[in-house]
Structure 1
Amino acid sequence: MRTAIVLGPDGGALPVVARLARYGLGTPQGTGRQWVSWLHVLDFCRAVEFLLSRPDLDGTFNFCAPTPLINQEFNGLLDHYYRPRLHLPQPRWLLEIGALLLRTETELILKSRKVVPQRLTQAGFAFQFPTCDLALADLVPQLP
């Protein structure tokens, strides 16, 4: 399993990026042109169950939604929900400070990852949340 960013209401990346979006940091990070591959937590669990039920399948599978999007679009979707009064820019130098404070790496934010689940969909897996707007419509109301 190669897993993209898993979006869920109570852990992982979504609560962190949603909190940042509330405070005006729902803007593109760096250039905003880097690709973001993601996956709704329910589709992650369903994909694991799917592969466990299919012992005939082996090898590497990408666990990600079939529709990656660029960072600018992802943050635009978050901005739609939180509509902060301010929109603060996020240049690389600021991200490096933030990553240090969050004990993470800026590469996780700035590296482009355009991944699709080709083998998973060819095996017959159907996503409940194939697009990020559908995933966020389900998840954002569940956030604290």
Structure 2
Amino acid sequence: MFDNKPASLLSLCFLVCVTEGLRTITAEPGQNVTLTCEVNNSEISGLQWTRPDLDPKYVFVYRNGRFDPVKQHPSFKERVELKDSQMKDGDVSVTLKNVTFNDTGTYECRVAQGQTDPLKLNSIVHLRVSAGHTNNGGDSHGRVGLTLGLFFLLLIL
């Protein structure tokens, strides 16, 4: 029983950490939603919002100082824009306009800071579009997952 304790704690920590970074937004069809992502440094050389289950997976791409629509998935054309076009204070959130049921999915925000830095995963947002169940923000800080994770951690100890 005690031999598995460190592995269980490590697994639990991973679950809590992953849950902490996940934001859930629930919206109704036709609404505009903001997929939030922020970085500490306002020097942003690259930004990608992706939805990995799509091909192409790109929702919004910013590089070389401007929006790059070349690889953008067709369903997002003309519907996605930066919340703050200047990305002041490191706000790289995007607004998705006129959401549909097909927009339900998990979105990932990757940011490169500095000219030589690679893109790094910064935020994961799960969007659920359903009729009549709007909370637009959900558990935006992962509090439920963190609370449950800490509860189970205390049970193990």
TM-score, normalised via structure 2 length: 0.24
Larger CA Rg, structure 1 vs 2 = 2
Q: Normalized per residue, which structure has more helix?
A: 1
TM-score, normalised via structure 1 length: 0.25
